Structure 1
Amino acid sequence: MQDVSLENMLLHVHEDGRWEVRICDPGQAVVFATDQVGAEIPVPFRGFAGKDFRPPELYSRTPYLASKVDAWCLGWSTFYLLVARPMFHSADPAVHDPDWVLFQRRMFTKLFHSRGWRNTLSHQAKDFILRLMQIDPDQRMSLRQALRHPWLVEGAEPQHVFDKEAVAALQEPDRL
């Protein structure tokens, strides 16, 4: 996909109140293949997706693993969704973002404390995000692994139902 971001996620609500997230705007999408043993084949670098939160490997402008870019972007988007602020603004070495420097040095406690986020996220939420945002793409959690992460599968049963008034409002934009 290569452009996993909150602005490209839609919330689809079914008539019965169940919901699902759908990803749209495949303008930056790439087709990738796997080799004979199932390993992803790197795709050629063809330019940047228009986001500041690109993973660091893209700045080398060399072939990369597209699914690992998506994993990074999912981690960044999850953090932003939960905290309503970016963890850092850019991994671009030319930008010199001080929060990126802390992140890159794995000084997460200092980064979270300095921004007032120390107690904002659960341990499992932090683990989910930080494993998706490993700087080394080979160490980064895959999207398949993310679906099995304890933060998503353990704990309270997810709430897939909106109240009927909210569903009606979503189906009739004039009511909003």
Structure 2
Amino acid sequence: MVKKSWRPVFTEASPFCRVVSTELPLKIAKPIFASEARPHERWGENAPSGFTLIEVLMAAAILAIGLMGIAAVIARASVQDVRANHISRANFLMEEFLENATRAQYSAQTFNALTDTAASRVIDGVRFTMNCTLAENTPVERCKEMTCILAWDNTSPHASARYVYVFSPKF
């Protein structure tokens, strides 16, 4: 049996003061559970490198959540793109109709012949329906106010746009 001697141990309390203890220095005990040990203590010098199964599963879960968010944004963007395309087509149809109706302002005969109009056209499988009503002497005498409602439906929520145009005689 080896006899341990009691010798003073000096520790630094501050740069100006030393504390003297007569106790034996404590040995650091090895952890009881393997998970508390550092990897190099568990495996020695041949510590395996890489990821644990939990780390891989957590990374895969985070990646899956991110990819689902991106997929939802892409799906929503494609729906909005189709909606914007239908609105643009509706505007072009209305613009075409109003350009043709505007020509009536330059002839008394065609201006007086302007009446309510209803039309329907299918473009790329989408039905566009236009209903126009004409009000005489509105907002000023001899003028005509045309209110058109252009609606379309392509198995999505029914959509429509309202246009108001005033015709004044130019003859």
TM value normalised by structure 2: 0.21
Task: Specify the structure having the higher radius of gyration (Cα).
Answer: 2
Q: Which structure carries more strand by proportion?
A: 2
- Structure ranking higher on relative contact order (CA contacts 8 Å, 6+ apart): 1
